[in-house]
Amino acid sequence: MRFRSIYTNSAGILVSRIFGFVRDLLTASVLGANIYSDIFFVAFKLPNLFRRIFAEGAFVQSFLPTFIASGHKSLFAVAVLIRFFLFLMGVSLLVTLFSEPITRLIALGFSDEAVKAAAPLVAINFYYLDFIFVVTFFSALLQYKEHFATSAFSTALLNISMITALLLFRHEDPQTIVYALSFSVLVGGALQLALHLWMAGRKGFCRMLGVGFFYLGKKKRLAESEIKRFGRTFFPSVLGNSTAQISSFIDTWLASFLVSGSISYLFYANRLFQLPLALFATAASVALFPTVSKLLKRGLVEEAKSESKRVFWALVGLLGGATAVGAVLSEEIVRLLFERGAFDAGDTENTSAVLVMYLAGLLPFGLAKLFSLWLYAEHRQADAAKIAAKSLLFNIIFSLALIGPLQAPGLALASSLGGWILLMLTLKAVGSAIFLDIMRSKYAPLSLMFIAVCSLGAWGIKVFVNADF
């Protein structure tokens, strides 16, 4: 595996997150942390939850190994595309028809007035999932060719679309602003789809899919065994990939019972937490997954360990350093990014407290992503699902125990504790021998030294910033 692939993913994610922070900065300034921002974040949460679980996670990690092994790639790909797209369109229509009861389920603490206000936005935002599934499908095909740039950089288009809406409607009333944001989400999805279609055409996939469509009716039986195999691995993958996302969704659901603004505190803090997780762990796992899948398919276990070893210690250093810096400078970071306009000093204090609790789970969630690749590459989705179910159960227990005494920060801490359980169970499933082999590396001292330097540097910056000269 070339580190160039990781750098490409990281660069694309960084560009997207920069635009994402500009978007969040504008959202905080224009809407603040109140009932209107809570309504939009609830509406945006549902499609994002399904996107990360259903499309980006479970789909790619079940589709790609089966596609690699397939002897009828065009037939298999077309059959999967048609089935999933029709299913998601049907679900989207159901959400439109029953938007109010669905909104009530995901925000039980909302008043009747807030539910009625949020329901149309939930229906609008959910159609983003239809766009993003097709994007994810083409992204998986591009990953097969080890092309990552299009998917990595295209995510910025969603943020650019939402930034444009905020700038155009910033002087309007809050209700108009949240509607403009919701429609901009669909525009962003359409732009992402257009870019992926263009690149897929250049890589020859549109021609391949055209052949698949032409012969699907006549030769579909040739790919039936592969479609069934994909089906058997996909549904366990949904749960196996869902721990962090369902945890965040539970946070939002429980936070609807807390004081107004709690959902927004969790959202802004989680956005900051997701930056190093995506920039380092997600970028590395996306780039590593096709390589590990191909090596394990050929029985080259030692080569797969070697590819994972450098990535493991790089993640330990980068995620550990990010945890140290974020925990020490949490309040300063939140103040710098968000404290302006309707977002005041009290919002900064509350959001920074939540951020510290989320950061306690940065390292375990990131390393769990790396080691779970071995389970998915070996078609052990059922094992990953069992692990996710156990860690999620503990997360729910921790959330219910901590929400009372700690409020919103308690929900974030519960998520982090669930992350540590997820990592421990994943390592046990992968095997201690593989884990110990990957840990033995000359890069270990460098990673630990990097964490120490980040910690000392962060404390130095904090002392300087708060010094009374």
What's the rounded mean pLDDT across residues 100-117?
78
pLDDT in tens, 34-56: 667 777 777 777 666 666 665 55
Q: State the pLDDT confidence band at 192, using cuts at 50, 70 and 90.
A: very high
**CA angle, corner 340, sides to 337 and 343, nearest 5?**
95
Of 90-94, 137-141, 142-146, 254-258, the poorest mean pLDDT is in 254-258
pLDDT in tens, 58-71: 677 777 777 877 77
242 contact partners, CB below 8 Å, separation of at least 6: 53, 57, 58, 388, 392
Q: Give DSSP secondary structure letters for 45-87.
A: HHHHHHIIIIIIIIIHHHHHHHHHH-S-HHHHHHHHHHHHHHH
* Domain map (residue ranges) of the chain: 3-458
What's the rounded mean pLDDT across residues 398-426?
89
Task: Determine contact, residues 29/213, Cβ cutoff 8 Å.
Answer: no
Residue recorded with tokens 């120490």: 452
- Distance (Å, whole) CA 329 – CA 457: 10
Task: Please report the pLDDT score of residue 27 as a whole number.
Answer: 82
What's the rounded mean pLDDT across residues 101-109?
77
- Distance (Å, whole) CA 117 – CA 101: 12
Q: What is the dihedral of CA 417, 418, 420, 425, to 10 degrees?
A: 150
Of 132-136, 151-155, 379-383, 418-422, the poorest mean pLDDT is in 379-383
Task: Please report the pLDDT score of residue 50 as a whole number.
Answer: 65
- Distance (Å, whole) CA 33 – CA 35: 7
Residue 297: closest CA among 140, 63, 68 = 68
SS3 155: coil
SS3 100: helix
Task: Determine contact, residues 332/462, Cβ cutoff 8 Å.
Answer: yes
Burial class of residue 394 in the structure, from the number of CB atoms within 10 Å of its CB (0-12 exposed, 13-18 middle, 19+ buried): middle
- Distance (Å, whole) CA 291 – CA 148: 13
Task: Please report the pLDDT score of residue 175 as a whole number.
Answer: 81
Task: Please report the pLDDT score of residue 1 as a whole number.
Answer: 47
SS3 110: coil
Task: Please report the pLDDT score of residue 358 as a whole number.
Answer: 93
Q: State the pLDDT confidence band at 355, using cuts at 50, 70 and 90.
A: very high
**Residue predicted with more confidence, 296 or 164:** 164
pLDDT in tens, 415-454: 899 889 999 999 888 887 888 887 777 777 788 787 888 8
Q: State the pLDDT confidence band at 78, using cuts at 50, 70 and 90.
A: confident
